[in-house]
Amino acid sequence: MQDEPVLDLAHLGHLELLTPKPDESLRFFIDVLGMTESGRQGDSVYLRGWDDYERHSLKLTASKKPGMGHMAFRARSQPALERRVAALKGSGYDIGWTDGDLGHGPAFQCRDPDGHLIELYYETEWYVAPPELKPALKNQAQRFPARGVNVRRLDHLNCLASDIRANRIFFEDYLGCRLTEQIVQNDGAEAGMWMTLTNKSYDFAFTRDHTGAKGRFHHLTYALDSREDVLRAADIFLEAGVPIESGPHKHAVQQTFFLYVYEPGGNRVEVCNAGARLILAPDWKPIVWTEEERKKGQAWGMKTVESFHTYGTPPVEDSE
Amino acid sequence: MQDEPVLDLAHLGHLELLTPKPDESLRFFIDVLGMTESGRQGDSVYLRGWDDYERHSLKLTASKKPGMGHMAFRARSQPALERRVAALKGSGYDIGWTDGDLGHGPAFQCRDPDGHLIELYYETEWYVAPPELKPALKNQAQRFPARGVNVRRLDHLNCLASDIRANRIFFEDYLGCRLTEQIVQNDGAEAGMWMTLTNKSYDFAFTRDHTGAKGRFHHLTYALDSREDVLRAADIFLEAGVPIESGPHKHAVQQTFFLYVYEPGGNRVEVCNAGARLILAPDWKPIVWTEEERKKGQAWGMKTVESFHTYGTPPVEDSE
Amino acid sequence: MQDEPVLDLAHLGHLELLTPKPDESLRFFIDVLGMTESGRQGDSVYLRGWDDYERHSLKLTASKKPGMGHMAFRARSQPALERRVAALKGSGYDIGWTDGDLGHGPAFQCRDPDGHLIELYYETEWYVAPPELKPALKNQAQRFPARGVNVRRLDHLNCLASDIRANRIFFEDYLGCRLTEQIVQNDGAEAGMWMTLTNKSYDFAFTRDHTGAKGRFHHLTYALDSREDVLRAADIFLEAGVPIESGPHKHAVQQTFFLYVYEPGGNRVEVCNAGARLILAPDWKPIVWTEEERKKGQAWGMKTVESFHTYGTPPVEDSE
Amino acid sequence: MQDEPVLDLAHLGHLELLTPKPDESLRFFIDVLGMTESGRQGDSVYLRGWDDYERHSLKLTASKKPGMGHMAFRARSQPALERRVAALKGSGYDIGWTDGDLGHGPAFQCRDPDGHLIELYYETEWYVAPPELKPALKNQAQRFPARGVNVRRLDHLNCLASDIRANRIFFEDYLGCRLTEQIVQNDGAEAGMWMTLTNKSYDFAFTRDHTGAKGRFHHLTYALDSREDVLRAADIFLEAGVPIESGPHKHAVQQTFFLYVYEPGGNRVEVCNAGARLILAPDWKPIVWTEEERKKGQAWGMKTVESFHTYGTPPVEDSE
């Protein structure tokens, strides 16, 4: 009989971003991206897009080097969380429980085979807007800021990994993530994967770290409503002196309309739009891209910039 | 211990629309909406948007009167389908199995308390584009048509019902649908409900039939990528002589950017855009709108046109 | 032999808006519309959109009642200005020269038959952005503000008049304005006119004042780049508590995509988008709309709200 | 005393495009770009965008090699045309009168210093839509086609020239064209120029032919309403197998949002959007771009593709 899918995790909840320039990074996320500060604790500031329902989707932490502190997934229920913990315990990937953090309850920590730190949690604090940020429509978490790029909600993140296949199997088997697209080289090696927990076509992706380093971060992405919003973001980044790495253009993989920039701390940040594209099929068959197909570049022909394959945080020279 | 949600149904799969003017309705869906014919059988033509992954999302059937033949939901797996059937059997709402239809396998039929016919199925035929409709990107079901309104995929449908509360409980208890927003009158009566099986904020809605009639249909909706696409659709409907009932404007409920027209057979058709709005919270708390709030009209102040509350198919004079 | 057109005036330069709530009006134009203050003098604050090339396009003046102080047109050259002055002198519409104002040189004042004050000038001060507002691209006047509605440049204004025909003849004969569209009633009376000095389809319009009052103001309009920008403006007005009178919708006349709101001082303000529509024909034949055609409402069927025909500034009860 | 500008020419009217693959080129312009055929004569088919007010804006002529047959400007009046002819006669650039062509009356031919053929005319045939192409709104020339890219109207053209400065002086002195932007090399040589007859920031441009060839053509451009329309055009070109050379991206020069493709005959075709940007100043000061500034690439950092500097029609190997 057909195995039924594990549906225990609901969605990517937030990530912790490390920055060696905390003040400038904070100004970038608030003034340029249009995010809202929703808390401070220790060396961290908690930030959110206007449509994130939880208290925060980004934890910005001062650190010697840029990179990702951890990624966090929210479980669908408390029993669902406990099932995932039970599956992880003794696997060698498990670390153990934390007491939680500002904005969410107890979290179970583990590491993927490449070493990225992952937290799973269920209890969360729903964002309650202060009076000056109350929205006009009650089905919205927070007032539209009308400031900078006005990012809506956390969309996905992307990490680098030395062994994509090992990471794929981990996320499938232990966390119930579903593969929607992947890149497989002519020699059979997996070079990239896009996985989802939702009807979005991906909640996170991993691409092969050409440097062979482990545990590095590639980018985080906030969603905008339209491609025009992404173009306007490019205008705003240009005016604000934010370095644009690549885009706006349309990816062939996942058809995301993308724009990559660097925040002051050195981490890559994307704003994107996926239009009305959703993966509704419960039995979606992963799209497999070959080397030849990827050599054609992006959807409309733009070649992928070299830095996209090599630059991650922390930079490799630092990580060795 | 907390009950865990039923996740057995994956999404709205298709609906059957009845039309007394089958040729003109077909021309509307193909030439004006930009849909593609993907099969014919008996009095029915099967149609699809370019991003629908199944063979069809609309079954257009010649009939004496307009209205909805049935709505169909795809289950997440065969065992999931069987669980729903087991729940329904003996409930009084169950009808029984059919052999399936062009495009999908065996379906279990039931009726909601208001009498609308519902089919549940799992086995489905994935759309395979003929050579002239092969898309340039392999992660897309079909070539973008570049014709008329270019509707993307079935988004949702809306029916009228005499007893909203009874229908809500049916869809929650037997099908595992989740309520995201509702209208509750001052006297406590439920007047409208929006329910989802996905991360979309709704897959279908029911609003109270002011005429007291039962089993009527309000509209079906195809998704477009942006609000600008909806505005362009209005330009195209105007040129094509398609009667516009209301919009483009933004609903307060669900914040959908909407445009309602009538297809030649008399059924209401909507094109909409929801932007990047998704319901990611697994424990979403339904938004409850009061009578006073609804009297404010739509998001930007437009009053709801009277026909929106009274017109459904089949028209009431016919249905008695 | 064919008469050659008078081409002496180049474009609408600015207007002076009167407000009984100067502080709140100023906050509206800066915080909500996204304009920039570029000077202060006496009871006036001078404001500009980021793409206005002159120092200001709006002079906001504290006053007991709302309304328009004056409208100002920039001549194509100094000799062109002098030709218009020569034509006006002794016409009964002429007033005489002023020394100019902050931002522009000597101006010749006159009144149209309905009594609206008009200024003609040539010498002007080009806007020079301070360092913090320097744009990234040197062909742009000022940095894109990324604040509020981000209005681009003054597009047009609209006044009410008791005798449209008389005003049309004045603007054609004395100022060389070209009629592009008009409304003519069944009894032959002119009820509205749209005139241009540029390739825009209008720089200003007059519609009949149903109250019979004279010299009143209907609205001023700033241009945005796309219809989506106008929709986003509606979202922002909603959040900011700005009263929306009508729209967003598409006018049948001129096909402008419009949105009307009230600024705190009581004046009507529009943001609009005309797309790539331009009047390139030097011998454009005015479009004449009949009463029956206008009764169809706006382009996609919305009925014109009643206040649009009756509300102007100053309000009639005050002006008597 | 200040010289007054020559305002005798109204706008770019049309151009003649030469194609060695007339059938395939015709299908491209009709099926992919969404243009309408409005006449045939000899080896030529006449085509138009839905918002072009004259009968045609493109004359597509079968030819051994691709390239431009001629460009044509419409005068503001018959006397204005005669003034330009008088200025040209005996200049060495003048050729003489033709009897006109399908769609317009007598035209005076001349050549610019680089050898491109130019026609000036005043009498023109306004487009009258046949019943099936009548628009819903009477202020529009033709029904919106809802087919392919739906190009709106001819926007501008671009030619290559060996001596930009000589061409600039010709267009300024003999035709009254106004320079809005230019590229000047460190050695003082002019490398590109953008000139206008309207409030558009350019009606045509010339850039230096790096091959040293004379009289070549670079591209023609049709206008769309929004940047999103240009992105959608890219999707449609991709699906139709039309080779995309570059874009969509935003030019630093003129800030045009551009997309370049090749039509089957080998000529470069652009679709663009300029938003609400207009040159309203009658005394606009040309923007001068230096070599260093141009090396920064396009507005958001994309490097200009090499072929953009070298490819023109006819190809150089053929033209020698």
In a domain, B141, yes or no: no
Q: Do A231 and D250 touch (CB under 8 A)?
A: yes
For residue A140, give every residue at least 6 positions away whose Cβ sits within 8 Å of its Cβ, in sequence order, or none. A50, A51, B255
pLDDT tens for residues A143-171? Answer: 999 999 999 999 999 999 999 999 999 99
Q: Is residue A2 part of a domain?
A: no
Q: Please report which confidence band the pLDDT of residue C4 belongs to, taking 50, 70 and 90 as the band edges.
A: confident
Closest chain B residue to C259, measured at CA: B300
Q: Is B275 on the interface with D (CB under 8 A)?
A: no
Contact of A69 with A111, CB cutoff 8 Å: no
Chain B neighbors of D135, CB-CB under 8 A = 239
CB contacts, 8 Å: B248 with chain C: 248-249, 300
pLDDT value at C317 more than 80: no
Q: Would residue B121 count as lying in a domain?
A: yes
| Contact status of A290 with chain B (Cβ, < 8 Å) | no
* pLDDT tens digits, one per residue of C94-122: 999 999 999 999 999 999 999 999 999 99
CA distance D73 to A152: 47
Min distance B13 CA to chain A CA atoms (Å)? 9
pLDDT tens digits, C178-209? 999 999 999 999 999 999 999 999 999 999 99
Q: Do B198 and A280 touch (CB under 8 A)?
A: yes
The reply to whether B95 touches chain D by the CB within 8 Å rule is: no
Local confidence band at A297 (pLDDT 50, 70, 90 cut-offs): confident
Burial state string for A80-112 with b = 16 or more CB within 10 A and e = fewer than 16:
bbebbbebbeeeebbeeeeeebebbebbbbbbb
| B198 near A CB under 8 A | yes
Computed over every residue of chain A, the mean pLDDT equals 96
Closest residue to B244, CB basis, from C237, C257, C300:
C300
- Taking only the tens place, the pLDDT of each residue in C42-67 is 999 999 999 999 999 999 999 999 99
DSSP string, D70-92: EEEEEESSHHHHHHHHHHHTTSS
pLDDT of residue B228: 97
Give me the pLDDT at residue A105, please: 98
pLDDT exceeds cutoff 90 at A124: yes
Taking Cα atoms as reference points, which of A51, A49, A68, A52 lies closest to residue A60? Answer: A68
Answer yes or no: is pLDDT of C2 > 70.
no
Predicted confidence at residue D303, as pLDDT, reads 86
At B1, the pLDDT band (50, 70, 90 cuts) reads very low
Identify the pLDDT of residue D281: 98
Supply the Cα-derived Rg of chain D in whole angstroms. Answer: 19
Q: State the average pLDDT over residues B127-146.
A: 98
Residue of B nearest to A53 (CA): B281
For residue A239, is it left (φ>0), alpha (ψ between -120 and 50) or beta? alpha
More confident residue, C4 or B281: B281
> Which two tokens mark B265?
């057979």
D3 in a structural domain: no
Alpha helices in A121-254 (DSSP H): 164-175, 227-240
CB D53 within 8 A of CB C281: yes
Residue B144 falls inside a structural domain = no
Cβ-Cβ pairs closer than 8 A, B with D, add up to 36
**How far is the C-alpha of C160 from the C-alpha of A102, rounded, in Å?**
58
User: Quick one: average pLDDT of D40-66?
Assistant: 98
CB contacts < 8 Å between C and D, how many?
A: 132
Hey, which chains touch C, using 3+ CB pairs under 8 Å? A, B, D
Yes or no, beta carbons of B148 and D146 under 8 Å apart: yes
pLDDT in tens, D187-205: 999 999 999 999 999 999 9
Contact A300 D247 (CB under 8 A): yes
Residue B314 clears pLDDT 60, i.e. is over it: yes
Using the predicted structure, report yes or no on whether residue B285 has a pLDDT greater than 70. yes
Put simply, the answer to whether D280 touches C76 (Cβ < 8 Å) is no
Looking at residues B216-232, what average pLDDT do you find? 98
Q: In what order do the strands lie in the sheet with B67-75?
A: B36-41, B44-48, B58-62, B9-19, B67-75, B117-121, B107-111, B94-98
% chain A with pLDDT above 70: 98
What's residue B22's pLDDT?
98
pLDDT of residue A274: 87
B-interface mutation test, from C149, C228, C229, C231, most B Cβ less than 10 A away: C231
What mean pLDDT do residues C230-255 have?
Answer: 97
- Specify the pLDDT at position D151: 98
Q: Angle at CA C79, nearest 5°, toward D282 and D91?
A: 70
Highest average pLDDT, of B265-269, B307-311, C299-303, comes from: B265-269
**Percentage of chain D lying above the pLDDT 90 cut:** 92
The domain that contains D183 carries what CATH number? 3.10.180.10
CB under 8 Å to D14, separation ≥6 — which residues?
D54, D56, D57, D58, D59, D71, D72, D103, D154
Q: What is the DSSP letter of D130?
A: -
Q: How far apart are CA D33 and CA D25, in angstroms?
A: 11
**Structure token pair of residue A138:** 């009650």
**Domain range enclosing D102:** 9-319
pLDDT at res. D319: 44
Q: Which of D137, D143, D228 sits opposite B226 (nearest CB)?
A: D228
pLDDT the model gives residue C75: 98
| B147 contacts on D by Cβ (under 8 Å) | 146-147
What would the pLDDT profile of A89-117 be if each residue is shown by its tens digit? 999 999 999 999 999 999 999 999 999 99
Closest chain C C-alpha to D280 CA, distance in angstroms: 7
Residue C58 token pair: 């709006």
Q: Which residues are paired to B254 by β-bridges?
A: none
From the list C114, C295, C142, the residue with the least C-alpha distance to C218 is C114
Q: What pLDDT, on the 0 to 100 scale, is given for residue B302?
A: 86
Q: What is the mean pLDDT of residues D301-319?
A: 85
Q: How far apart are the first and last CA of chain D?
A: 48
**CB nearest to B7's CB, from A7, A75, A273:** A7
Q: Tell me, what's the pLDDT at C303?
A: 86
Write out chain B residues lying below 8 Å of C302, CB-based.
302
Q: Is residue D4 situated within a structural domain?
A: no
The reply to whether D52 falls in a domain is yes
The percentage of residues in chain D with a pLDDT greater than 70, rounded to a whole number, is: 98
Task: Check residue C319 and give its pLDDT.
Answer: 44
Give dist(CA C138, CA C152) in Å, integer: 16
Is the predicted pLDDT of residue A319 greater than 50, yes or no? no
Looking at the partner chain, which of B136, B226, B239 has a beta carbon nearest the beta carbon of D239? B136
Three-class SS state of C184: strand
| Interface mutation target, options D199, D292, D293, chain C, most CBs of C under 10 Å | D199
What residues of chain A lie within 8 A of the CB of C147, using their CB? 146-147
The answer to whether residue C4 is domain-embedded is no
Q: Least CA distance to C228: which residue of chain B?
A: B228
**Are residues B283 and A122 in contact, defined by beta-carbon separation less than 8 angstroms?**
no
Alpha-carbon torsion (A195, A197, A202, A203), positive or negative: negative
Quick one: which H or E segment has residue B80?
A: helix B78-88
Alpha-carbon gap: B189 to the closest alpha carbon of chain D (Å): 44
Number of domains in chain B: 1
Q: What residues pair up with D120 in beta bridges, in sequence order?
A: D73, D108
Whether C239 sits inside 8 A of A136 (CB atoms) is yes
Nearest-10 Cα torsion for A173, A178, A184, A189:
-10
Is the per-residue pLDDT at B7 higher than 90?
yes
Q: How confident is the model over D145-183, as pLDDT tens digits?
A: 999 999 999 999 999 999 999 999 999 999 999 999 999
Structure confidence at residue A1 as a pLDDT band (50, 70, 90):
very low
